[in-house]
Amino acid sequence: MTGDAVVELRGLTKRFGTMTAVEDVSFEVRSGRIVGLLGRNGAGKTTSLRMLLGLMLPTSGTATVFGHRYQDLPRAAHRVGVSMDGINPLPGTTARRELRIWARALGLPAARADEVLGQVGLDDRADRKVKGYSTGMKQRLALATALLSDPELLVLDEPANGLDPDGIRWLRTMLRSLADEGRTVLVSSHLLAEIEQTVDDVVIVQRTLRYAGPLSDLTSEGTESLEDRFFSLVGSQTGATGTTAKERVDA
């Protein structure tokens, strides 16, 4: 990896009673890179992101953004754009009104809302009620909200969920253009084939860290698939339904 460390996790651990969700995870995210955070459902991806963003306290270890805990980072909401479950639009609002409310809260001009709506391809549907949006349109709105403050770092939790093939291709191009501008993107996903076309670096967790480094090193410069390397690191399981772990990750 190249560039300065934007995100650092050191020995990060989270326990819920006797259950350990994340154990001794350490990795860095370098400036200007797109980094894919991969793992099965329940592997600790979202828990790790929540600890990084100060939404959950770690049992032990540290998680920092630009050298600070998120809650101590000056102008954190301007420097870090976030798209995660639980950040939902106001009931009954339109996309334009939703973004203008966020813009006002961040001290930004109302025109910035229109800019990001165009950036994510929602400008022609900006005055429709969000409750009538498809899942893919809601994902675009969530990305627009994350982009509103023109952040240096984007933290995106499963942003491709609900996107059709055109939307997934658009997202890939969008993320690459943001990284080319010098921004950093940390994106969690279960879409291994898509991640393989999108990211520079990969972090694989299955409660503990299984790999952190360049995608090219993991896949031997593309001679092996990310899917094959993923399952060689986390193992393959068959559940009671007879479905394999591979099938569940791809679902």
pLDDT of residue 29: 97
Letter string b/e over residues 82-106, b meaning 16 or more CB atoms within 10 A of that residue's CB: bbbeeeebeeeebbbbbbbebbeee
pLDDT band for 81, please (50, 70, 90 cuts): very high
- Report whether pLDDT(100) > 70: yes
Banded pLDDT at 221 (limits 50, 70, 90):
very high
Mean pLDDT across 172-180: 94
Residue 251 has pLDDT above 60, yes or no: no
* Assigned token pair, 206: 């299955």
Q: Which domain holds residue 79?
A: 5-88+150-250
Q: How far apart are CA 199 and CA 172, in angstroms?
A: 9
Mean pLDDT value across the chain: 91
Per-residue CA distances from 15 to 21, 37, 78, 184 (Å)? 6, 20, 31, 29
pLDDT of residue 88: 75
235 vs 12, more confident: 12
Which range has the worst mean pLDDT, 8-17, 95-104, 133-142, 229-238? 229-238
How many CB atoms within 10 Å of residue 127? 11
Residues 6+ apart with CB under 8 A from 245: 40, 231, 234, 235, 236, 237, 238, 239
Q: What is the DSSP letter of 158?
A: S
> Which one is predicted more confidently, 234 or 3?
234
pTM score of the predicted model: 0.90
For 203-216, how does the pLDDT look when each residue is reduced to its tens digit (9 = 90+)?
999 999 999 999 99
CATH of the domain at 165: 3.40.50.300
Q: What is the pLDDT of residue 238?
A: 53
Alpha-carbon distance of 215 to 197, in angstroms, equals: 10
Is 100 inside any structural domain?
Answer: no
Residue 163 lies in a domain: yes
The owner of tokens 């890939």 is 172
Q: Give the strands of the sheet with 5-16, arranged side by side.
A: 19-30, 5-16, 60-65
Alpha-carbon span 1 to 159, nearest angstrom: 23
Q: What is the dihedral of CA 19, 21, 23, 27, to 10 degrees?
A: -170
Task: Provide the CA 140 distance to its chain's centre, in angstroms.
Answer: 13
Q: How many domains, in total, are found in the chain?
A: 1
Q: 3-class SS at 32?
A: coil
Asked whether residue 26 is domain-assigned, the answer is yes
Q: Of 80-89, 154-163, 193-202, 208-217, which range is least confident?
A: 80-89
